[in-house]
Every structure is written in C-alpha cells, then in structure tokens.
Amino acid sequence: MPASNRAITFLEPHKMELQDKGYPKLEDPQGRKIEHAVILKIITTNICGSDLHIYNGRFAAPQGMLMGHENTGEVVEVGSHVERIKVGDVCSVPFNVSCGTCRNCRERHTEVCLNANEELGFCGAYGFNLGGWQGGQAEYMLVPWADFQLLKFPDKDQAVEKIRDLTLLSDILPTGYHGCVVARVGTGSTVYIAGAGPVGRCAAASAQLLGASCIIVGDHNEARRDLVKKAGYEVVDPSSTTPVADQIEKLLGMGSRWVDASVDCVGLECHGYGPDGSSENVEEAVINTLMEVTKPAGAMGIPGVYTNLDPGARTELNKKGYMALGFPAAWVKSPTFTAGQCPVMHYNRDLMMAILWDRMPYLTPLINTEVISLERAVEAYQIFNDGSPKKFVIDPHNMTKLMSTG
C-alpha cells in the first residue's frame, strides 16, 4: 500500500492546496467498512467548471474536502463483495455516486440515488459536498458500489491512447449529451447552447452526433467562441448590444426567431450578459434567455449547476435560494424543462463506443484538453477561472505520457 495520497484539497474560496490526505480506506463517509468498494489509481482527473463554483465560494463545501468528480483510473484494490470488477481494470467513474439498488437507481435515475447522501436523502457526487464522498484529484480514490458504478474500458492500451476523449465520460460529455437529449435534439433540430466552456462545447458536439442542423453557442469569452467557430458551429455574444434573440434570428434566417431546443451549460455563475456584460452575475439571465429563444412547445435542458447554498449570492432573492424567472411570460409557450445532474450511466457506455469507433473525431480539437501534473493543478484552477479555453486534465502518475511541461 502506498504511504501517501497527495490530493487537491479545498481550504477556503480561492485557496486550494496539494496535501497528503492518506491512502483511502474501504470505508463510507461515516467511517463504516464497505466491501462493495474499490480503490482506483487515478489515470486522469479533470478540473470542471462546477469545481470553479466551489473555488469561487459559490457552492458551499467543507474545509479539507478532496476536489474532483471527473475521474478515470485503474483498479488496484477490491473489496470482498466486488464480483465483476478486477484489479487491473481501467474504468471511468460516473461523477454521480449511486448504489444500484434503490428505487431511483432501478429506474435509471442514478443522479438522485437515495442511498448516496445521508444528509440530504438523495443525490451523491464525489468531491462536491454531496454525501461526503472524497474527490479524485489525487493519486488514489475510493469508489463504492463498484460493480454497479464503474464503466470498464475494453482495453488498457486503447484507453490510454484515446484518453483525451475517454476522460470526458465521467461527466462533461454525458452531461452535454443529456442536456441535448432532454431538450429533444434530433435530426434537423436547431439548437441554442448557453456557454462555450467545456460542457457547452461537449453539448455542441453532442448536438452534432444527434443530427442537429443549426447549432448556436453563446458566450462572451472570445477564445472559447473561436474554438466553437473553428469546429463549424455558429456563435453569439450575450454581452453584445444586440440581444441574443436578435443574433439568433439573424443566424437562423427565414424569419425564424426561435430555436427548437436549448441547453443551459452555464449555471449560477453567469458572466457577460447584457450590453458590455452589464448584468454580470445575474443568476437568472441564462434560463430567462432560454425561455425567450426556445420555440413554443420546445424543450430546455438545464444541466448547469444551481444551488440554494450560495454564500456569494448577489441579490436578496438569490440569497434566499430564489431566482427572478420570467416564467409567467414563458408559460403560454408550453415550455418543457429538465433540470438537475446528468445520470451519467444512462449515456456513458454508448458515448464510449462512439469514441472507440471514431464517430466523434471533432471532439479532441473542440475540447482542447491540456494534460498536467498534480503539482500544476492549483495554478490551473486559477487559469481556468480566468477564462482559459482549455480543459485541464490532471495525470497524477504520468500514466498517459501526454503531460505538458509548461
């Protein structure tokens, strides 16, 4: 057993540190022995936009928590009740923690497992103050209910070769895809995606895989918009003096002012809405835009993260856990909303197959991953938070040999 387990540890907003947190035990967050768990040696663990909510103090988290919910690794230890997963298996870990036996898991709603979060009663995630499960931005991590949860890759060498894309299966690719599926994106759909961060870019790639026609992505960040444009999608700038709805109308042509489907890949920390970003950080800006630009009887996917535990909420309403939504005006359009975490297991196997058979060749340049060491991760949080168009992937053991030396 290795003596140490260096991990990116949350101390307070804007303060993460690389600390030795000790090699994980086969124990649940309450300290009870669990034989259905395994220990993974981390191959890749990504920094996510939702980690930035914690970093910025917008999603409350306990001091000392290990960060990281986008994890891929090799099994190095298995509990005595684990039957299917073996030492040496290379697996993707869905970011939702789920037991596989409760009513919701049995109905494929692993994002609201009833056994993975004792405090709330539902909804567990690694490194996210949802159930106390520690994150994987570390050398090693614990995965409970391993037989149910882990997605095993068919071949280790192939997995390492395609790791830039496969590492996205723990969260952002299924999340972007889920946003499109629940917004009913299909052949010929016109789609508006709010946010050109890594999840928004995954949503655009997903819309393409699902056969969408006009795919429009909105972001005030020019470098991120450029990646989207290069991949052949349309872009709008929500901080422009021209309202998003007018920019969309211009792109769609034929007098059409509405898209068929829309996806919120931003969540509570939205930046640059309104002329010159004047409605900076108005939480409801994205959802209100979606309701405005989606056609009557259209659907909206809202995988962007919201919380009523936002210590940095900007308005009195937000502080109370409410938002100023233009719902009364939208009601007459018969809108459909689907919000919440993506049930990753619903999609990850199929998307793995799409990657392994090269059906998404456009993914790698669009997501723009940079593989870094654990030592560079704290700095990468800052760079990502400053709006970098990169997706940072941490490789704690240099197992992929893809690490940049910057």
What span, in angstroms and rounded, lies between the C-alpha atoms of 250 and 248?
5
125-to-10, 46, 160, 238, 240 alpha-carbon distances in Å? 16, 15, 25, 31, 36
- What is the nearest approach in angstroms of Zn ion to the Cβ of residue 365? 20
- Report d(CA 351, CA 396) in Å as an integer: 25
Q: Minimal distance in Å, beta carbon 23 to Zn ion?
A: 25
Residue 197 beta carbon to Zn ion: minimum distance, rounded to whole angstroms: 10
Tokens of 169: 């299966």
Q: How far is the CB of 48 from Zn ion (least distance, A)?
A: 3
Shortest distance (Å) from residue 219 CB to Zn ion: 18
| Smaller CB separation from Zn ion, 9 or 50 | 50
278 is written with which tokens? 């004047």
Locus of tokens 């704290």: 378
* Minimal CB distance residue for Zn ion: 48
Q: Which is nearer to Zn ion, 96 or 288 (CB)?
A: 96
Bridge partners, 124 (sequence order): 97
Task: Closer to Zn ion by CB, 47 or 252: give it.
Answer: 47
Residue with Cβ nearer Zn ion (79 or 127): 127
Least distance from Zn ion to the Cβ atom of residue 305, Å: 9
Pick from 338, 258, 327: nearest CA to 304: 338
Cβ nearer to Zn ion, comparing 48 with 182: 48
d(CA 291, CA 299): 9
Q: Which is nearer to Zn ion, 298 or 301 (CB)?
A: 301
Our CB check for Zn ion shows the closer of 171 and 264 to be 171
Nearer to Zn ion, 97 or 291 (CB): 97
In 3D space, the residue among 352, 50, 305, 346 whose CA is nearest the CA of residue 178 turns out to be 346
Nearest to Zn ion of 50, 208 (CB atom) = 50
307 dihedral zone (left: phi>0; alpha: psi -120 to 50; beta): beta
Q: Site residues (CB under 5 A) for Zn ion? A: 48, 50, 70, 171
CB 194, min distance to Zn ion, A: 17
CA dihedral for 90, 1, 393, 381, sign (positive or negative): positive
**Residue whose tokens read 């790698």:** 364
Q: How far is CA 351 from CA 72, 175, 375, in A?
A: 15, 11, 31
Q: What is the smallest separation between the CB atom of 198 and Zn ion, expressed in angstroms? A: 8
Kindly list the distances between the CA atom of residue 327 and the CA atoms of 301, 330, 336, in Å, as whole numbers in the listed order: 15, 5, 12
Strand partners, 235: 217
Residue number with CB closer to Zn ion (28 or 70): 70
265 contacts: CB under 8 Å, gap ≥ 6: 175, 176, 179, 193, 194, 195, 197, 199, 200, 203, 303, 304
Smallest distance from the beta carbon of 137 to Zn ion, in angstroms? 11
Quote the least distance from Cβ 382 to Zn ion, whole Å: 18
